[in-house]
Structure 1
């Protein structure tokens, strides 16, 4: 897809400098059903990234995860697939949400990032998903 502009499907950040993003870079060469992406963790203490591929089923699972979060429940996204998993606990150990990125397949590292997202973050992420789907499905 020519002209794809990279975007963040997930962007959870706070004023303390902690953030977790799922940055979508564009179509996977020779596989039109896949989008090249990466999970990017940035904190004052630790930073890292891990590559992943998104496709329709993973985007559907993210939509379901957003519904679950909106109902007040924690989520595990991409837990049963190859590669990294992303978990969100709404009530973490520091009295704020926590995003856990687990990369058991490659690095065998798990990172837990506390974040205090804005009140409308779930609606914002639904909008991010809709925008990605609109651009990706465009002719």
Structure 2
């Protein structure tokens, strides 16, 4: 029996019920170099989801973003690509970290989610990325 495919690339949530996650859904059937994925936002006020395609280069840029976050910098991930973008601000408008999900090329909606992740969230997300890359990237064409 094979290993269960890792699905959760990003999972940020707090005790207030605010969350942002990026889930890998599987191989993109239309494009052999991509993974079907989704961004899911949940708060007591608003919730939603948007589709996206992850590539090896986007996953590598997420690794770079985690390094910059670990160094205390705010990051923009997938900002220069078509489709949704994720911005993580370590000190947001409400003096706590916040995640901004922007879907300018699709729905033209931006959602700002304040949340306080656990202390070890960057290490946890490095592990998540490692698992996703080890499982999925060998299946993608160059």
The bucket for the TM-score relative to the shorter chain is over 0.9
Task: Give RMSD over aligned pairs.
Answer: 1.6
Structure 1 residues 7 and 94 mapped into 2: Cα distance closer, same or farther (>3 Å)?
same
2:8 aligns with 8
RCO higher in 1 or 2 (8 Å CA, sep ≥ 6)? 2
Deviation string 1:70-128 (CA, Å, 9 cap, x unpaired) is 00000000000000000000001222100000000011000000011000000000000
Gaps of 5+ in 1: none
1:113 aligns with 113
Q: TM-score, normalised by structure 2?
A: 0.92
Q: TM-score, normalised by structure 1?
A: 0.94
1:63 aligns with 63
Matched pairs, number: 138
Gaps of 5+ in 2: none
Structure 1 residues 103 and 30 mapped into 2: Cα distance closer, same or farther (>3 Å)?
closer
